[in-house]
Structure 1
């Protein structure tokens, strides 16, 4: 009896112990996992770029109220989230432009943006406006490569970097602007400002942040907050552009936030994540960061959260609705005014070729100033105009830059060069002209593609004669690398092109225009072979070398032409990887034989 009772007693104890193990082992395992999880911090960095002043919902543009709600919902689901801007936020629509970006700045404040890169369009209303936005919006501009020419120091209205602590992790943000700003905005807007090599600036500040050579001490993660462009191939997923070149420099940057090129980008270059969230608030970007406090390992996943495809289902923010209503009410009577009508769609796709819209705009420019020729950049026309009523609001969206008409006299040879710069230019798009008949062959080398140029009445352009011309003030000052330095009698009328279009529409009421084909593609006739000259004794010249310093508006082609050498020789002699990317102040060796 004793043995049996003893066995039962022991068995009862074993069952009890087993049950206790079953109960407590999962808790111990969970506790271990919780400890492990607590050492891995998850942080999200939400990004917005190239928002371009979108206030109201329209088509694929979700507008302020839905954009705010979408980002804030993401923040609620992901507590350790910060929001950053990547430039070109304010300028681009009538409601924003008429109020100098104020509605967008209110949106930025509502989103809780803590810092932003500086885009080229941030300069459209002057530097003072940039500083005011930051003060009123409660964030900081970051730009490590924008310098004051007088002091030789970074500009006072932006910081090179910012350190932000999120859940015990110190994140260093380095601001970088695109050097293209030097010719993508009016020179007068950036007077006294220098845009330095972003890679060199990034190297300097990455080293300081990672070594602790800053007031805040050593950081755990370095993010480049930039307005550098990037493009991702839809098939291969390969990423190219300025942001990709930064990643290839292998500086120790953990991730790059991109902008400028209005593309959807989410991938890696050289194991460095890059993100860009399309344009106009149709998406927002996110860098999901996992950081291990023990071994300091970091992994970052770039992603783009699409909003455009679900615009109708998105919820609205009450605060966002108030912002929209406030500025709609203030600007309604002006923007809704119908100033004319068009019987046809005025089409425009600046990277695809000459457009009907571009021709009409140039015709109005020439008519207004009584000039023989008009020329404007395709990038200055920001939307097509659909058949039907044309309102003031539509014209603000078409021409949001407040550009003015500038008249001058231009020599025939320079006129040819100007148009050559705007034909099939994949960086700036196609130029628009009127008053000329130009034939070109894109299969010919740059600088030699125009083979016939006449006035609209059929008279051949005399390369030594001067012609009256009108353009916009952006181009007149060298924007998009259009060179008007040799022009005579240059006069800024101070008349906004938008106002000239409004007057024309009010005068004629209804327009019905057809393509004039001022720019016409063709095949350049082959030159007749010249008789071969008798060979002369070869005289080998002594080699000469010139050190050239790159100036504003320079291109390798233009430098080569100045010294009468092929720009490809300059590329080879200097080991230049990207012929389209040179910087002001860069030293270039010119070998003259």
Structure 2
């Protein structure tokens, strides 16, 4: 058997070629085809991952690995000796090939990828011979990640199979799509250059991001790469180097352009121009104007036009109109962020009229850092990006960002796409190009030979003209947690990543202390204060000798997990270089600020300490508080002044807070330094229950 010779078919499956295989044997077959050998079954790390209570020692490791790879779904029992149906084996194979619908659309996918014929009865028990045929057929099937890479080709790149053996198995090279234009899209990367290899395994990391894009381009030569902004800020890897590794990733993927995210301003707008130059890409923003010149800013272009496969693609950049309240005031005070709908209409009209020196585009794309969301069940798309689809005539595609959501659908027949965040998904847009060659006879005049009077006579010749037209625009989203196990890292990007880790290791990996339990911070929770929010506020209040502390929820980015706490953790939890800002504030203004942070409609709820608050969740936003006192129960008096501490972002109006009534203001040290000092001093920190905010309507 050719598969056995190629070490892709295990002899662990019992019986003759015609014998039926069990469910346990089916799992082993697929793992073997992926290059895993018998020794994985005894590895403790895989045995521990086994999710089935009835698994025997003969399969525990295999099932743990299969669960980790997403091949099997968790359940109480597995029934390893039960006969495997053909559709069960096909589901395993398709999942191994990264098809997200492998267990819901098994038959259609299996036929489409050539694993079986339409006439096959896939509900029958599968024989060993049939299983071998399915595995062999899978080598010519494409991976479900949009790259058109054959499974067999992946096995060669991964070092599991030699090119000679692949050829002997009859695997043909993937066909290139030379006609259509493709867009690879990502957004809100936030410096997440490290691959997430434990837990939910969602973040792709820079080496696999570059590897995926370059693999895609190998079979889709007419591809451009676009980003929705918020590329740099968010992790110790990026923050400690002011974005150095992200720039290397952008350049490694040959990124064409990026929208300007609100977090692009976190270290001052001056960084934006340098990132674009070093990364060899353009920032696009048609609605950011310089207040001094009343013209679009010099460090970003309103639009660009690029020609691919005979099609001119116009790309208009749009920043979020709320950027002034989402960035430090001093970093954006010289810029005007205009209504994106009005700006889009203005620049679409400009491009459609043919005024651009590059000519009139065939397709116009809005590359934005503007939010969208999508209902999981109804697929309805909401958010500010829908205004562009509904109110801007002439837009063919809206690329959304900012809200960290997976969005893929149409509004007003205009595709809207958002690729989650942190490299946890990749967006793919296909411009289906219709290429036609038109032949036409044209009458031409030519000089007659040997004619002294140079007389002319008529002649006909055939002139060929090629026309290009976009017939359709299709969008897809690929979940990184599903596809990334088969992405081969870019060697160059991986080398860069490894060297960077060595450079920043001492600071990033410094252990500050320990958390006895997790300080949870679920940013989607509404109407309360998180455990992390309480701790941060109390540390800030103690440092500033303030009665009350207020912290915007979005200023804290993730849960502080149980166990050792490193400096890298603190950079991820509080990536912003915000400063401790103390003030005297009247009771009525404190109440207003706390009310503002409850059930916030478009961002994470605020956190506070030093108060006891009761509110009615059924009342309108901003008018929910029914009772507010100090921690000792003393009523908060409207006209009395209290010492309050927050961060300079919030003090400057960030997230819509209003501290205009503050007096005796003092700005001191970075809040991250305060948190680091508190951990080092305590050595072990323990979360406290949040019992000082209550929704009386519940």
TM > 0.5: yes
1:299 aligns with 2:299: no
Deviation at 1:39?
13
Q: Which residue is 1:55 aligned to?
A: 193
- 1:532-559 residue CA offsets vs partner (Å, 9 max, x unmatched): xxxxxxxxxxxxxxxxxxxxxxxxxxxx
Paired residue secondary structure (1:296) = strand
Q: Which residue is 1:572 aligned to?
A: none
1:395 aligns with 2:570: yes
Where do 5+ consecutive residues of structure 2 fail to align? 1-175, 436-466
Paired residues, number: 486
Q: Which residue is 1:87 aligned to?
A: 229
1:261 aligns with 2:435: no
**C-alpha distance in 1 between matches for 2:309 and 2:570:** 47
**C-alpha distance in 2 between matches for 1:39 and 1:370:** 65
1:174 aligns with 2:316: yes
Give the CA RMSD over aligned residues: 1.6
Are the aligned partners of 2:311 and 2:469 in contact in 1 as well (CA < 8 Å)?
Answer: no
Using the size of structure 1 for normalisation, the TM-score is 0.80
1:318 aligns with 2:456: no
Q: Which residue is 2:659 aligned to?
A: 484
Paired residue secondary structure (2:238) = helix
1:405 aligns with 2:580: yes
Paired residue secondary structure (1:288) = strand
Deviation at 1:40?
10
**C-alpha distance in 1 between matches for 2:428 and 2:694:** 44
Are the aligned partners of 2:540 and 2:580 in contact in 1 as well (CA < 8 Å)?
Answer: yes
**C-alpha distance in 1 between matches for 2:493 and 2:536:** 35
**C-alpha distance in 2 between matches for 1:428 and 1:302:** 27
Would the alpha carbon gap of residues 203 and 298 (structure 1) be closer, same or farther in structure 2, given more than 3 Å must change?
farther
**Residue 330 of structure 2: which of 156, 181, 188 is its match?**
188
Q: How does 1:216-255 map to 2 (within 5 A)?
A: 216-255=358-397
Deviation at 1:390?
0.6
**Residue 438 of structure 1: which of 610, 613, 619 is its match?**
613
Deviation at 1:426?
2.4
1:504 aligns with 2:642: no
Q: Which residue is 1:46 aligned to?
A: 184
Where do 5+ consecutive residues of structure 1 fail to align? 1-37, 525-593
**C-alpha distance in 2 between matches for 1:374 and 1:518:** 14
- 1:499-537 residue CA offsets vs partner (Å, 9 max, x unmatched): 10111111111112321423222149xxxxxxxxxxxxx
Would the alpha carbon gap of residues 295 and 69 (structure 1) be closer, same or farther in structure 2, given more than 3 Å must change?
closer
Of 259-268 and 289-298, the range deviating more from structure 2: 289-298
**Residue 650 of structure 2: which of 456, 471, 475 is its match?**
475
1:333 aligns with 2:506: yes
Using the size of structure 2 for normalisation, the TM-score is 0.68
**C-alpha distance in 1 between matches for 2:391 and 2:620:** 31
Q: Which residue is 1:77 aligned to?
A: 219
**C-alpha distance in 2 between matches for 1:247 and 1:104:** 30
Deviation at 1:66?
1.1
Q: Which runs of 4+ in 1 moved over 3 A?
A: 38-41, 293-298, 310-313
- 1:443-466 residue CA offsets vs partner (Å, 9 max, x unmatched): 112232111111111111111100
Q: How does 1:135-150 map to 2 (within 5 A)?
A: 135-150=277-292
- 1:23-63 residue CA offsets vs partner (Å, 9 max, x unmatched): xxxxxxxxxxxxxxx99941001111000101111231121
**Residue 518 of structure 2: which of 340, 345, 349 is its match?**
345
**C-alpha distance in 2 between matches for 1:514 and 1:265:** 37
Would the alpha carbon gap of residues 507 and 40 (structure 1) be closer, same or farther in structure 2, given more than 3 Å must change?
closer
Would the alpha carbon gap of residues 299 and 372 (structure 1) be closer, same or farther in structure 2, given more than 3 Å must change?
same
Are the aligned partners of 1:349 and 1:355 in contact in 2 as well (CA < 8 Å)?
Answer: yes
**C-alpha distance in 2 between matches for 1:207 and 1:446:** 38
